[in-house]
């Protein structure tokens, strides 16, 4: 997606598999500036996948977990 700048995924029950899919999307996204992931089921098992993706994403400025 090239137009979404602010994405609120709070309270969506995102867990391990959702974190993997989200991580893949974050690697290639160039427009997202703010991502809200509050109150999901993201845990320490998910963290390595998300952190790898976030390390290559240059557009994200605000991450809420």
| Residue 63 predicted with pLDDT over 90 | yes
pLDDT digits (tens, 9 = 90+) for 4-29: 999 999 999 999 999 999 999 999 99
Model's pTM, two decimal places? 0.88
Q: How far apart are CA 37 and CA 39, in angstroms?
A: 7
Q: Supply the pLDDT for residue 22.
A: 94
Enumerate residues 6+ apart whose C-beta is below 8 A from 60: 26, 32, 33, 34, 35, 54
pLDDT digits (tens, 9 = 90+) for 23-57: 999 999 999 999 999 999 999 999 898 999 999 99
H or E segment at 63?
strand 62-64
pLDDT grade for 2, boundaries at 50, 70 and 90? confident
Domain locations in the chain as residue ranges: 6-64
């Amino acid at each position: 997606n090239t137009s979404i700048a602010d994405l609120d995924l709070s309270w969506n029950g995102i867990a391990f598999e959702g974190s993997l899919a989200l991580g893949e999307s974050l690697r290639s996204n160039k427009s997202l500036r703010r991502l809200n992931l509050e109150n999901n089921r993201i845990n320490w098992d998910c963290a390595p996948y998300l952190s790898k993706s976030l390390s290559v994403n240059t557009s994200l400025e605000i991450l809420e977990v």
